[in-house]
Amino acid sequence: MSHSSMWDSISGIIRRDLLLAMRRWSDAAMSVFFLVIVVSLFPLGVGPEPAVLRTIAPGVLWVAALLTCLLSLSRVFTPDYLDGVLEQMVLVPQPLSLLVLGKVLAHWVISGLPVVLLSPLLGLQFGLDGEALGVLVLSLLLGTPTLSMIGAIGAALVLGVRGSGLLVALLVLPLYVPVLIFGAGAVTSSMAGIGGEANLSLLGACLVLSLFLAPWATAAALRIALE
């Protein structure tokens, strides 16, 4: 298969999923509100001490991003699974892993990108300064696609399974741990004055690894779920 037709099939999927998401924009809005609410709960629970808030900010923002991604995972495959589109996707000549990649990228645009765009605002709530905010955005930009990639594996595994909401959390959250460590670590180390570059490059490595492995594992899981 030529490069252009490969790209066509991916971008076709992305365009379709984004169009569907536009029609159901309230879903994306819910993710954003969820993120804002969760992040706002922490100062209320921990107390308004600025030094404390600044210390916990990277971890809180990253955990909130993790949970936001997790909550939107059921939207990656379930609608297509219910109306039978997914079964046709397995049968078309394009490799399933490519179509999966397209769907995951669309998921990231809907649920990951808003988190990235909103994060400087949330960081300000916690009193992060300019450089830390920059690293926060950069770390989320590198990390949230990885979260979508890994999450898709879990979403495919629990497709149509009873109690899938909790189950997918149990499967996916342990796999999110490295991303959380590197992502929050990048912000923390830039705040400590060591610079976040090392953590950011490790995040990049996670992204590359997940780009190679996750679509393939997701495709395998989808085939298992659909046979």
Binding site for another protein (CB under 8 A): 153, 157-158, 161-164, 167, 170-171, 173-175, 177-178, 181-182, 185, 188-189, 192, 194, 202, 206, 213, 217, 220-221, 224-225, 227
Distance from the Cα of residue 20 to its chain's centroid: 19
Nearer to another protein, 70 or 221 (CB): 221
Compute the distance between CA of residue 176 and CA of residue 143 in angstroms, rounded to an integer.
10
CB of 170 to another protein, least distance (A): 5
Nearer to another protein, 86 or 118 (CB): 86
CB of 158 to another protein, least distance (A): 7
CB of 169 to another protein, least distance (A): 10
What is the per-residue DSSP string for 158-191?
Answer: TTT-TTHHHHHHHHHHHHHHHHHHHHHHHHHHHH
Q: Which residues of 185-205 are buried (b: 16+ CB within 10 A; e: fewer)?
A: bbbbbbbeeeebeebbebbee
CB of 10 to another protein, least distance (A): 23
For the chain, the straight-line distance linking the first and the last C-alpha, in angstroms and rounded, comes to 26
Nearer to another protein, 27 or 131 (CB): 131
CB of 31 to another protein, least distance (A): 24
Show the DSSP H helices in 72-196 as ranges: 74-82, 85-91, 96-107, 113-125, 130-157, 164-191
Compute the distance between CA of residue 127 and CA of residue 120 in angstroms, rounded to an integer.
10
Compute the distance between CA of residue 128 and CA of residue 175 in angstroms, rounded to an integer.
28
CB of 2 to another protein, least distance (A): 30
Which among 225, 220, 179 is positioned nearest to 202, based on CA atoms? 179
Nearer to another protein, 69 or 153 (CB): 153
Nearer to another protein, 118 or 191 (CB): 191
Nearer to another protein, 31 or 189 (CB): 189
